[in-house]
Chain A
């Protein structure tokens, strides 16, 4: 069983749409949660951390449900520049090791 499971998509949405990605993780001892973004032929980069109370960064909202071991990312008012692969990441510690990546969800925002 994979540590992190994501719907690979692809998601093709028009500009201005709202899109949501979901992710589940298998290890209930997981401590830290993140969404990374990876552009085509580039390295993954941190988009945002996910906190227990949920958190928002502009058009992006991340939520965590520990009971269901479920993480989500909501993107409002999609822009063409949001087109990328979004990776769900789970860490077993808060101190920088044992990161587990989902296979990613592909998003294309269409003009």
Chain B
């Protein structure tokens, strides 16, 4: 079975450019999460969706960040304009509320470098 699929795997861009990260969750999962990981701060929850509806976006750093989930199989995280401090690995994860374990399944991540 396909896991969580993220693209691009690597992105190098210049400050001020728009960045769009994409995620396809596991089919049938009703929760989708966007995390950011840095050495200094570890894994930080940016936003999560339940049944395509944003539930908590309190982790989104500022207005430069936005996320959408137009349907159950696709989500985007957009940064506009990007800044060097946005450099990090961005993980998408999904889960199914019907599972007793409550396990999160992560994609392989999108490694963003903003120059």
Contact = CB atoms under 8 A, between A and B. Distances in A.
Interface stretch (A20-28, A40-48, A56-64, A69-77): A40-48
B104 A46 contact: yes
B33 A99 contact: yes
Interface stretch (B15-23, B43-51, B65-73, B77-85): B43-51
Contacts of A43: 91, 106-109
State which size class the interface on B falls in.
20 to 34
A91 B99 CA distance: 14
Contacts of B99: 96
A81 interface: no
Given A43-B109, A91-B102, A97 B50 contact: yes
Interface in B48-62: 48, 50, 55-56
A107 interface: no
B86 interface: no
B31 interface: yes
Contacts of A89: 104
Interface string A90-111: 0101111111111110000000
Contacts of B102: 32, 34, 91, 93-96, 99
28 contacts: A32-B101, A32-B102, A34-B102, A36-B104, A43-B91, A43-B106, A43-B107, A44-B43, A44-B104, A45-B106, A46-B101, A46-B103, A49-B101, A91-B102, A93-B102, A94-B102, A95-B102, A96-B30, A96-B99, A96-B102, A97-B31, A97-B48, A97-B95, A97-B97, A100-B45, A101-B42, A103-B42, A104-B43
Interface of B: 30-31, 33, 35, 41-43, 45, 48, 50, 55-56, 91, 95-97, 99-104, 106-109
Counting from the closest, the 5 A-B pairs by CB-CB distance are A103-B42, A43-B106, A96-B97, A96-B95, A101-B43
